[in-house]
Structure 1
């Protein structure tokens, strides 16, 4: 199974959060996205307002499907919602043990489908998914065999391993592989014909990543959610209940819904006191300690600004350093920074390398940025972490 190295928590960190409104004009905002997208070597950018194109960038050779990385998770969540709409899943609070009897005994009997969708299952996970998951012959069995690192439902922790169980659930309840089910229930109604989906050795589509789509086809999924589950042709694909479930706040984190990220109007990050002792106590490496402590005395007006500062200090390999020294130790930004958050104004699917789908409901904007994996990728510049923030500035300019 040839996949990229997905870092647990990396996709979450790369989600750029917007600052407060400015007086930027629509033309200026569109020009800013185009300029920043080109500087980040984007392979495709598409911005729609009410389904009409405001900006489209693609290679002269034509638009090729790009690997969505962890943005795949958001499409997997749609498969679970379709099961719910089809009556094949009774509730998102259904115990997974009712589907996989292996979990009837022990604490894992308390894990529900909801917990797999909002990263609160408590299943053991590793910071770098490539270390454990990439070569696994059967990712569903691997997830089923995982131990618990925390009580089910108690803690939010971004988890690649847990999401790989979702395709197994879809196949059990739908009676067919997840990609076949989604082709029939989602892709065909949206006119999506070109896609690929990486599979493990057992032939199961990956849940943590693996789907490749073009920018236009990914935007169609965003438009479907924006329109409350109805296609442009008027066909209802998802119920309004399912759309609301996908984007509603998790009980353990306001940042997430069901494998969709919730973007606030503004955020503020400030390093907490006594962090030197805290990081040393958790045995964080000296370079990562220094990068985090260097943010002291400053207030960052977005997650993207904070992460960009840390990334610059750690260098191109910063995701690996951060994943092994922070995420692997069970630490979160909220453990190290005082965070203030405004109201949710947008939703996003995003992934490693800077794959983004952003939906801004009030201004009815759908925006996609994709980049193909290449050896010349320069992180964090080519990740275009500020894309969601730039899209929100454009949405504000459209008011």
Structure 2
């Protein structure tokens, strides 16, 4: 049975500091609340500075939720710890400095930065369930992977490569990443409840596996807004590294270092050669027809585009799209031309619709979480518009 919002958990307030703002502020919050309810969310939290604007849970006692791929963004913070602690000189160091077996061939050119911005070139199956979730040693699997492209030459989202980062942290920190992060980041932030899945070799996963509550995840967002300084004044991460996390990467304006860069607006239009591209890739006719149906349309968000595709492919659209598009290594930008406005927010995102969003100009931290369950309806329950709804809220709040 689907989780339902429990009224005893509901906190919905417009603080006095916002009361003088236009009526669009509570309207924007009401929109987010309504969509979070409709998408069967398990946790929702929106803060501005020290004020809570909206907080909702699906159970009386909120519990940690698996962050899925948002775990990657926490892994990136661990690399910042290595820099702060003097255990790593630069993210532009070759991975072979840590794993000497890569000091030959093209792999000697792969740097830690390339693992962080998805440009390593390592062979990767986009669906983690195909070859990663059952692998006994994810670090060794990444080390043994072939190269699909030259290191640093192109952006390609890569679960396999991010697992190698936890191995790097373990070697340089002298302890597993979960222990290192718990001591150096979570403890100063007052985070005491978290779990981190490990593979059979005992190494915490890098692609996913960390579970945290919404309030604790929001503390991580606040750490970035405060440029790496904990509430008590302790510097945890270097300010320069925090800036690097969200700076535009060399191969994609959408990403920094395992953090997503969210634009004020986006537009997606189907490329003229999309149909020929899909034919060349031997994509099944039903999926090809669903994509080509977008001809002549402009989509104002990725969520709107995904919703369009899902409606044409039906209830099993996720499986069809994954089998015919994702598993063939086809990216959305291979099919659709993307235009984007200025970057206004940064986020950690995960499967099923896990989000941590920060909007620096308005001092906003927003979290949406949902438990994995068999009744999850793709894409409806993913709340793909969460980031854009948070940005709309930011627009109607007066600058601090």
Question: What is the alpha-carbon distance in structure 2 between the residues aligned to residue 24 and residue 315 of structure 1?
Answer: 38
Q: CA RMSD in A?
A: 1.2
CA contact 2:44–2:55 (8 Å) conserved in 1: yes
| Partner residue in 1 for 2:367 | 368
Equivalences for residues 23-38 of structure 1 within 5 A: 25-38=24-37
Question: What is the alpha-carbon distance in structure 2 between the residues aligned to residue 357 and residue 244 of structure 1?
Answer: 17
Question: What is the alpha-carbon distance in structure 1 between the residues aligned to residue 58 and residue 276 of structure 2?
Answer: 49
Question: What is the alpha-carbon distance in structure 1 between the residues aligned to residue 386 and residue 108 of structure 2?
Answer: 40
**Aligned-residue offset at 1:24:** 6.9
Question: What is the alpha-carbon distance in structure 2 between the residues aligned to residue 89 and residue 115 of structure 1?
Answer: 15
Question: What is the alpha-carbon distance in structure 2 between the residues aligned to residue 137 and residue 59 of structure 1?
Answer: 34
CA contact 1:127–1:324 (8 Å) conserved in 2: no
Question: What is the alpha-carbon distance in structure 2 between the residues aligned to residue 384 and residue 24 of structure 1?
Answer: 24
Q: Which blocks of at least 5 consecutive residues in structure 1 are unaligned?
A: 1-22
| Partner residue in 1 for 2:332 | 333
CA contact 1:226–1:364 (8 Å) conserved in 2: yes
SS of 1:395 mapped into structure 2: helix
| Partner residue in 2 for 1:6 | none
Which has the higher Rg, Structure 1 or Structure 2?
2
Task: Give me the TM-score of the superposition, normalised by structure 1.
Answer: 0.92
Which has the larger displacement, 175-184 or 311-320?
311-320
Question: What is the alpha-carbon distance in structure 2 between the residues aligned to residue 356 and residue 321 of structure 1?
Answer: 24
CA contact 2:42–2:58 (8 Å) conserved in 1: yes
Query: Which digits, 9 at most, give the CA deviation of each residue in 1:167-186, with x for residues without a partner?
Result: 00000000000000001110
Question: What is the alpha-carbon distance in structure 2 between the residues aligned to residue 358 and residue 127 of structure 1?
Answer: 24
Question: What is the alpha-carbon distance in structure 2 between the residues aligned to residue 143 and residue 300 of structure 1?
Answer: 36
**Aligned-residue offset at 1:329:** 2.6
Task: Give me the TM-score of the superposition, normalised by structure 2.
Answer: 0.92
**Aligned-residue offset at 1:121:** 0.3
Question: What is the alpha-carbon distance in structure 1 between the residues aligned to residue 316 and residue 234 of structure 2?
Answer: 45
4+ residue segments displaced more than 4 Å: none
The one of the two structures with greater contact order (alpha-carbon pairs below 8 A, sep at least 6) is 1
| Partner residue in 2 for 1:171 | 170
Which has the larger displacement, 283-292 or 38-47?
283-292
Q: Which blocks of at least 5 consecutive residues in structure 2 are unaligned?
A: 1-21
Question: What is the alpha-carbon distance in structure 2 between the residues aligned to residue 297 and residue 128 of structure 1?
Answer: 30
Which has the larger displacement, 380-389 or 310-319?
310-319
| Partner residue in 2 for 1:101 | 100
| Partner residue in 1 for 2:5 | none
**Aligned-residue offset at 1:318:** 2.8
**Aligned-residue offset at 1:58:** 1.0
Count of aligned positions: 377
CA contact 2:318–2:379 (8 Å) conserved in 1: no
| Partner residue in 1 for 2:51 | 52
Pair 1:234-2:237 in alignment: no
| Partner residue in 1 for 2:268 | 269
Pair 1:322-2:321 in alignment: yes
**Aligned-residue offset at 1:371:** 0.5
Pair 1:70-2:69 in alignment: yes
Equivalences for residues 1-399 of structure 1 within 5 A: 25-399=24-398
CA contact 1:24–1:393 (8 Å) conserved in 2: no
